[in-house]
Amino acid sequence: MSDQKFAAKTIIITGAGGNFGRAGCIHFAKLGARIAAMDNNDSALLETLREVNAAVDGEAPVIQTYICDVTDPKSVQETVEKISNDFGEINMLWNNAGYQGQIKPTLEYDPVDFARVMNINVTGMFIVLQSVAKEMASQKKADGDTTVSHPFSIVNTASVAALRGTPAMVAYSSSKAAILAMTVSSAKDLAPHGIRVNSISPALIGPGFMWTRQNELHAASGSPYFSSDPEQVAQAKVGGVPMKRLGSIDEVIKSVAYLLSDDSSYTTGTNLVVDGGLSAGLKA
């Protein structure tokens, strides 16, 4: 099945070897997009390639994998140039690679790990955003006038941790809050270049390995905000969600698709929260 919004569009997806990234590669490949899948984990990328090929019947999917560390500016620039040469153009970026860091209360948090989280989630996200945006801006100049005012779209993966400040996740929460500010500031800088920039903030996505592991780590963190029983941690979390259930990866991908596509053509600098109402409220 092809979808005009994505057919023959080139989408770069970072963190393509992970849960969200892999599901995104499969989803957009099925809709006829051309996927540039980036990750620094070789074997995870290969598994993504295998699953995309298995998921797309009939026509061969157009997917290329690129091993690249998002924190290395030279490697990112070379990779983006290679993608541009391989595909001829870049239309969309899902800037999604991330690292959650330790699950420990602030008094025990290792500053070395704090710096690592910030380096991957903030600096790495910026390096990819800037490199891809430069390529998009140069394409816009070469294309001249187009029928769509802002033909390029970038989606950064933030998190509800940015809005709520999850206990025992001080580095992750800080990094995701920085992504919200990066999204707003870069959206303003890039609007004159025909590029929209938005973010998504998911929370409580599962079931699956990440959900189970996270509850085990929260239970073991020693934080007074969590029970020491992972099952009770899980129940308490879902109990705090107005919709009283977990969200699915599919629901995350649909939100990313909305922001990447022209369905959101007049939206830039915003954050789409995908959390069943967990963080809903009027801010002071």
Over 22-48, what HEC string results? HHHHHHHHHCCCEEEEEECCHHHHHHH
Shortest Å distance, C-beta 147 to ligand NAD? 33
Among the listed residues 6, 11, 61, 69, the single contact to ligand NAD using CB under 6 A:
69
Pick 92 or 205: Cβ nearer ligand NAD: 205
Choose the binding region for ligand NAD from 34-42, 49-57, 82-90, 230-238 (rule: CB under 6 A). Answer: 34-42
- For residue 105, how many other CB atoms are within 10 A of its CB? 16
Residues, the chain, total?
284
Residues 6+ positions from 45 with CB-CB distance below 8 Å: 16, 17, 37, 39, 65, 67
Among the listed residues 39, 101, 223, 234, the single contact to ligand NAD using CB under 6 A:
39
Known catalytic residue at 225? no
Contact call for residue 234 and ligand NAD (CB under 6 A): no
Pick 56 or 205: Cβ nearer ligand NAD: 205
Residue 271: in which H helix or E strand, if any? Answer: strand 271-274
**Around 125, how many Cα atoms within 13 Å sit in the side-chain half-sphere?**
29
Shortest Å distance, C-beta 240 to ligand NAD? 15
Burial string for 80-91 (b: 16+ CB within 10 Å, else e) reads beebbeebebbb
Contact call for residue 97 and ligand NAD (CB under 6 A): yes
Contact call for residue 177 and ligand NAD (CB under 6 A): no
Shortest Å distance, C-beta 141 to ligand NAD? 29
In degrees and rounded to multiples of 5, residue 147 shows phi and psi of -75, -25
Shortest Å distance, C-beta 193 to ligand NAD? 25
Measured between alpha carbons, how far apart are the two ends of the chain, in Å? 45
Among the listed residues 102, 139, 157, 199, the single contact to ligand NAD using CB under 6 A:
157
- CB-nearest residue to ligand NAD: 18
Contact call for residue 44 and ligand NAD (CB under 6 A): yes
Q: Can you tell me the distance from the alpha carbon of 209 to that of 169, in angstroms, rounded to the nearest whole number?
A: 18
Residue pair 215/234 in contact by the 8 Å Cβ criterion: yes
Pick 98 or 194: Cβ nearer ligand NAD: 98
Query: Residues 66, 172, 225, 266: which is the catalytic one?
Result: 172
Binding footprint of ligand NAD on the chain (CB under 6 A): 15, 17-21, 39-41, 44, 69-71, 96-100, 120, 124, 157, 159, 202-203, 205, 210
